[in-house]
Structure 1
Amino acid sequence: MKRTGIYFQLKDGAREGYVEAHKNIWPQMREVLNEAGIQNYSIWNLGQKLFAYYETEDEEQTQKVLACSEVYGRWRDMMEEFVYIEEGTGTKEWPMELVFYNQGKEREDL
């Protein structure tokens, strides 16, 4: 199982709209996430900071499904209203490296 953590940053005054959009996520978007094999997807917020976490069996296949999805593309475009985009690079998310994991049983490789 591949675990992925991603950091985002909200634009000033965008928290309420971002939260509302996720309270009303499109059913088609949920279908895309399921088709992509994304499990245990959660998004955490602290002030302007967002942390997203998900698990998938096959990250390469997950990214292929997302890249081919019109629904996912429209959702990402809508999210640009809420999240900071770095000038010059267009970067709006920063993948994070997993440095510790405790399964609570036997050690599992990172």
Structure 2
Amino acid sequence: MERHAAAMRIQPGCFNTYRRKLGEVWKPLVEILDRIGIQNFSLWNIEDKVFGYCETPDGVTVSEKDWEAFHKLEEMMEGTFSWISTPGEPMRLMYEDFGVVRENKEQIRHRVFVTKLKPGMQEEYKLRHDRLAEARNGKITQGPDSNFSIWNAGDYIFGYNEIDITMETEETEESRQDTIAWETRMLEIMSWYTDDVDWITGLHHKHIQRIGYHN
């Protein structure tokens, strides 16, 4: 399986128009997704940003005909958004911990988050997460998290994580303190758009919302 991500910015005052036009292109869009073999497609919104995630079988390519069809739908959305990522090019993968991937999504809780790095902090962010990956020593995480990927476009960070709620356990005081220490240190190099660490900082951010899904 291959994971893919994309990110865009909604133009000022155009969110309602964006959602309306998204509804207008949704049926032909999912027809293209099905034809290509794209699965687990979702769109997430926080403030003026939209993050898209999807999966494909290994080695899938998009035909010229399907690219043309995508571009026609993009033209129908014209004026409502601009790209943060580069269309047709992969976003930079900053971290992955796929764990035990669950094909059944019925008991999945999502954690999707957005942050913005301070200037010049992309490589420091990547280094810190590379160390997390090295600490696993190639082992598959057996816990509730799966399909956990973190992507970068510009100075923006987009995270996607599927959490199996049947495997979740109550947080221990030790794990809570570890989380506080990690997140507090990460605040040195980035700021949040989503409300993931509001319980630590006391700040108030919006909760990210899913605005589209197709399996």
TM-score (norm 1): 0.72
Aligned to 2:16: 16
Say if 2:26 is the partner of 1:32.
Answer: no
Aligned to 2:175: none
Question: Take 1:26 and 1:44, find their aligned partners in 2: how far apart are those partners?
Answer: 15
The structure with the largest alpha-carbon Rg is 2
Question: Take 1:81 and 1:98, find their aligned partners in 2: how far apart are those partners?
Answer: 30
Aligned to 1:100: 96
Q: Secondary structure at the match of 1:107?
A: coil
Instruction: List alignment gaps of at least 5 residues for structure 2.
Output: 86-90, 102-138, 142-148, 150-215
Say if 2:57 is the partner of 1:51.
Answer: no
Query: Contact 1:39/1:55 (CA < 8 Å) preserved in 2?
Result: yes
Instruction: List alignment gaps of at least 5 residues for structure 1.
Output: 85-91
Quick one: which amino acid aligns to residue 39 of structure 1?
A: Q
Cα distance, 1:40–1:98 mapped onto 2, change above 3 Å: farther
Higher relative contact order (CA 8 A, sep 6+): 1
Question: Take 1:59 and 1:17, find their aligned partners in 2: how far apart are those partners?
Answer: 35
Cα distance, 1:41–1:75 mapped onto 2, change above 3 Å: same
Cα distance, 1:104–1:72 mapped onto 2, change above 3 Å: same
Quick one: which amino acid aligns to residue 80 of structure 2?
A: F
Quick one: which amino acid aligns to residue 99 of structure 1?
A: Y
Q: CA deviation at 1:6?
A: 1.4
- Aligned residue pair count: 99
Structure whose residues are more often strand by fraction: 2
Cα distance, 1:10–1:59 mapped onto 2, change above 3 Å: farther
